Structure 1
Amino acid sequence: MGDFSLDKISDLSTELYVGGAWTAASDGGRFDVLDPATGQVLTTVADGTVDDAISAVDAAEAAAASWAATSPRERSEILRRAFELMTGRADELAHLISLENGKALTDARGEVAYAAEFFRWYAEEAVRGAGSVMTAPSGANKIVVLHQPVGVCVLVTPWNFPAAMATRKIGPALAAGCTVVLKPASDTPLTALLMGRILADAGVPDGVVNVLPARRSGAVVSAMLHDPRVRKLSFTGSTEVGRILLKEAADQVINCSMELGGNAPFLVFADADLDAALDGAMVAKMRNAGEACTAANRFYVEASVADEFGRRLAERMSALRVGPGTDDDTQVGPLVNEEAAAKVHELVTGTVDAGGRVVVGGTRPARDGYYYEPTVLADVPMGAPILGEEIFGPVAPIVTFTDEAEAVRMANDTEFGLVSYVYTGDLARGLRLSEALDSGMVGLNRGLVSDPAAPFGGTKQSGIGREGGHEGMLDYLESKYVAVTW
């Protein structure tokens, strides 16, 4: 097992980061952070209270006016330094992510590189918050449109990408001139706390970024959403929790961005390059052991190639090395906690009970930690529970189809609409399907869509708004119209 330990990060604090200071929770409370590879306690972290949440909002509000007045160039340079500091500490960050999240080091290193890119991208976007000037159609006046920071933002991030989901929100918020309170997932607070340290070292002024770990997530976030000084909520997580937060945010009519659950279809047509489709399937399904909202969740394969595709996918899945994320040769680490592993197994057994067939995997290995074997399920009937839920694990259920219309109908038969994947050798078909599939993103002959320069987000109950790209910064800006005559 890898010999990396928390004491190798000399400046890692396990306290709250509020107003530029590391402080204990107001009631002295702390909670355990577990190692998913063993189930053992890694360390304890300060457990923020409602009072701490209001203190964080106090700090963000106190810093808001001066940060909004900071020149775009200065904000840009600070974000660029944050990118450079993250890149310089990439190996440390990757090991920390593997320790608290469980993901394989290869995936963790990929996440750190991806996460850092949001700081670089928004360093470049910070100086491009352009407004506009035009003459009113009547000719009576000029229409001047200014973009101004929305204000104090509450950022709530998930455990599956503890660095990237933080930078994807912090980067555009800071570029726009907003101050933030980051509430990280309680399974993975350590990465967020180290990010707070890195941002301070990059020159972010006290109070502009505050990091508030808390087990009492509902009460803490609710308190901030009912504070009239908070004007923005950005949440990444389950659709179930997103619905609750939207209701909470309605009381103060808070501006909301939501990146919620997914149920991504992966369509393979008989004319596809099967080698390329299998390569893409392994990326789309097994990145982060399937614990990703963009993970391929339902494989729809044209009947004439379904057996070959399933057999070859099973060969690749069974060859993956399962083990602790911190081991250099691990390809599939443990799932994040016991609840996650138990849910995946329940979905697999439910699919078998419904008539599905296990081609490979289908079990939890007999070892400590929250592991699940890479699994391929064939002959999965329509209506099987696994097709309606986000698996969030290393399981690939395969359903067959016979024509394009049937494939689109099955792919769109979900309340989610985050991303879809299509493999076909017919470009016209691929573009036609890209329009027909009801999702915010499409991977056309690609198993990976995420890019800091692209607008990331979904349709239907997969979310509201976009993160990344130029659109990502617009989510943190208000448009102000000034009518003027000269």
Structure 2
Amino acid sequence: MTDLRQTELLATVPDRLHIGGHWRPATGGALLAVTDPATGHVIKNIADATPADGLAALAAAHDAAGRWARTAPRERAEILRRAFDLLAGRAEDVALLMTLEMGKPLGQSRGEVTYGGEFLRWFSEEAPRVAGRYGVNPEGTGRMIVSRHAVGPSYLITPWNFPLAMATRKIAPALAAGCTVVIKPAEATPLTTLYLAQILADAGLPAGVLNVVTTSAPGPVSEAIIRDERLRKLSFTGSTAVGRLLLEQAAGRVLRTSMELGGNAPFVVFDDADLDKAVEGALAAKFRNIGQACTAANRFLVHRPVAEEFTERVTRRVAEFRMGPGTQEGVTIGPLIDDAAVTKSATLVRDAVERGARLRVGGEPVAGPGSYFPATVLSDVPPSSDLLREEIFGPVLAVVPFDDEDDAVRLANDTEYGLVSYVYTRDLARGQRMIERLATGMTGLNMGVVSNAAAPFGGWKQSGLGREGGLEGIGEYLETKYTLTPDPFA
């Protein structure tokens, strides 16, 4: 990938806030530097919003809310479909942009363009299908009408790890439902969202319906927006700690909220599993996105009779991984998002080894430039290890043996999180039992990747509230109204 190609692409990305249909500088003209984690170099300076800018964006969304909610569902659908087509036509540019600002290998970025685009297509199809119901009340004295209506101006906060998919997964259902939006992308990866905003404008989205604020001060900007009486919906994807804080702020306004928070996914392998498929699933569940995913498998619970064979197979495959800048073809492991992420992975590995875990491959940070940590495999990880409690968010695969099904369930559910679980077994009855016994909102049975635009994404316990995607996703942006009318035959 040539430097000229990258320079030309970055020049096409808007560098200002998108408010009320206009690209405008931040109040005071402050700038936010976006860096490439593969080199540590600044690749673009963009507008750095203040709380006043956030409120201006909310005002624009509020002003456009009534018109957009009254827009015909088919018109909303066609705008989303045009955006899907435009995104597909610019797929290579969007993939490269994500790799430059986030670091993931280019092949995985291309996969995210496909995945992220599906939310535009899926919710373009759902927009005309928002339905209510009509019927006689049980007493026969009247008629019940149940209708659904746009919640109203919505504030969407997205993380850095999937810059496109996390934006489309929130924007598409909101727009399909008739809601206007203010979106705040993560400080580390704002460029993809700015580019997406231009795509949606090119698709014919009216001014004020989508507003983008990029900022290095997410706390003050978000609090100003959340406290404002014009906001009606908050959707956040990120850490559980930040989610709790936002819920406290939202409580005072009784806002509708959706929270997709942290995970600590168990990956359970029984002794009757197809080990070839289990290994492939493990590599996908752990190392996709360099391990920086809330759905990433965190704890590999392997039946003791096959624990060593599974570990050896995984270790051989991981040892063949190629680490480097995501723009280089053939790279398996790109840089982590920043040096703090490298330090976290190194600290968790060191803690596990000091407690008695066996390091099979990797484990040591790589000298810069760039924020690199190698794909790592640990076996015989003690239960007291921090990496079994914390969300790793890095390329570290930790194997823990178990003795029987009850033991596996106990270990898998021994966490405050409940986002996703993975189970590998040939025994269908056992698989069904595990689906019902594991306390997670999603399960992959003999599958290492579960995300799909047509499926409800979300977790139990401290992993969040609400669902994104699927038939359920648009419901997060709809209010329900019940009306009783007199019996027309009385």
| Shorter-chain TM-score tier | over 0.9
Q: Identify the residue that residue 483 of structure 2 maps to in structure 1.
A: 482
Q: Identify the residue that residue 109 of structure 1 maps to in structure 2.
A: 110
Q: Identify the residue that residue 263 of structure 2 maps to in structure 1.
A: 262
Q: CA offset at residue 195 of structure 1?
A: 0.6
CA distance in 2, matches of 1:257, 1:435: 24
Q: State yes or no: 1:181 paired with 2:143.
A: no
1:168–1:468 Cα contact (<8 Å) kept: yes
Higher mean C-alpha deviation, range 172-181 or range 8-17: 8-17
CA distance in 1, matches of 2:386, 2:27: 44
Q: Identify the residue that residue 365 of structure 1 maps to in structure 2.
A: 366
- The SS at the match of 1:75 is helix
Q: CA offset at residue 265 of structure 1?
A: 0.1
Specify whether residues 433 and 274 from structure 1 end up closer, same or farther in structure 2 by C-alpha distance, changes over 3 A only.
same
- The SS at the match of 1:310 is helix
CA distance in 1, matches of 2:68, 2:104: 36
1:90–1:109 Cα contact (<8 Å) kept: yes
Partner deviation per Cα, 1:254-292 (whole Å, 9 max, x = no partner): 110000000000000000000000010011001101000
TM-score scaled by length of structure 1: 0.99
Q: Identify the residue that residue 275 of structure 2 maps to in structure 1.
A: 274
Q: Identify the residue that residue 429 of structure 2 maps to in structure 1.
A: 428
CA distance in 2, matches of 1:17, 1:399: 48
CA distance in 1, matches of 2:129, 2:351: 51
Q: CA offset at residue 2 of structure 1?
A: 5.0
Partner deviation per Cα, 1:118-153 (whole Å, 9 max, x = no partner): 000000000000111121111111111110000000
Q: CA offset at residue 301 of structure 1?
A: 0.2
Matching residue's letter, 1:472? G
- The SS at the match of 2:35 is strand
Q: CA offset at residue 11 of structure 1?
A: 3.2
Q: State yes or no: 1:31 paired with 2:32.
A: yes
1:154–1:182 Cα contact (<8 Å) kept: yes
Q: CA offset at residue 7 of structure 1?
A: 2.5
Question: Which stretches in structure 2 are left out of the alignment for 5+ residues?
Answer: none
CA distance in 1, matches of 2:132, 2:329: 48
CA distance in 2, matches of 1:46, 1:10: 15
Q: CA offset at residue 371 of structure 1?
A: 0.6
Q: Identify the residue that residue 456 of structure 2 maps to in structure 1.
A: 455
CA distance in 1, matches of 2:285, 2:134: 44
Q: State yes or no: 1:128 paired with 2:124.
A: no
Q: State yes or no: 1:69 paired with 2:70.
A: yes
2:84–2:118 Cα contact (<8 Å) kept: yes
Q: State yes or no: 1:210 paired with 2:227.
A: no
Question: Which stretches in structure 1 are left out of the alignment for 5+ residues?
Answer: none
2:269–2:278 Cα contact (<8 Å) kept: yes
TM-score scaled by length of structure 2: 0.98
Partner deviation per Cα, 1:20-42 (whole Å, 9 max, x = no partner): 11111011111111110011111
Q: CA offset at residue 10 of structure 1?
A: 4.8
Partner deviation per Cα, 1:129-180 (whole Å, 9 max, x = no partner): 0111121111111111110000000000000001000000000000000000
Q: Identify the residue that residue 158 of structure 1 maps to in structure 2.
A: 159
CA distance in 2, matches of 1:213, 1:67: 24
The number of aligned residues is: 486
- The SS at the match of 2:406 is helix
Q: CA offset at residue 96 of structure 1?
A: 0.2
Higher mean C-alpha deviation, range 25-34 or range 228-237: 25-34
Task: Give runs of aligned pairs for residues 190-209 of structure 1, distance below 5 A.
Answer: 190-209=191-210
CA distance in 1, matches of 2:337, 2:253: 34
2:50–2:221 Cα contact (<8 Å) kept: yes
Q: Identify the residue that residue 238 of structure 1 maps to in structure 2.
A: 239
Q: State yes or no: 1:223 paired with 2:224.
A: yes
CA distance in 2, matches of 1:84, 1:458: 31
Q: Identify the residue that residue 384 of structure 1 maps to in structure 2.
A: 385
Q: State yes or no: 1:309 paired with 2:302.
A: no
2:9–2:97 Cα contact (<8 Å) kept: no
Task: Give runs of aligned pairs for residues 309-458 of structure 1, distance below 5 A.
Answer: 309-458=310-459
Q: Identify the residue that residue 170 of structure 2 maps to in structure 1.
A: 169
- The SS at the match of 1:230 is coil
CA distance in 2, matches of 1:388, 1:410: 11
Q: Identify the residue that residue 53 of structure 2 maps to in structure 1.
A: 52
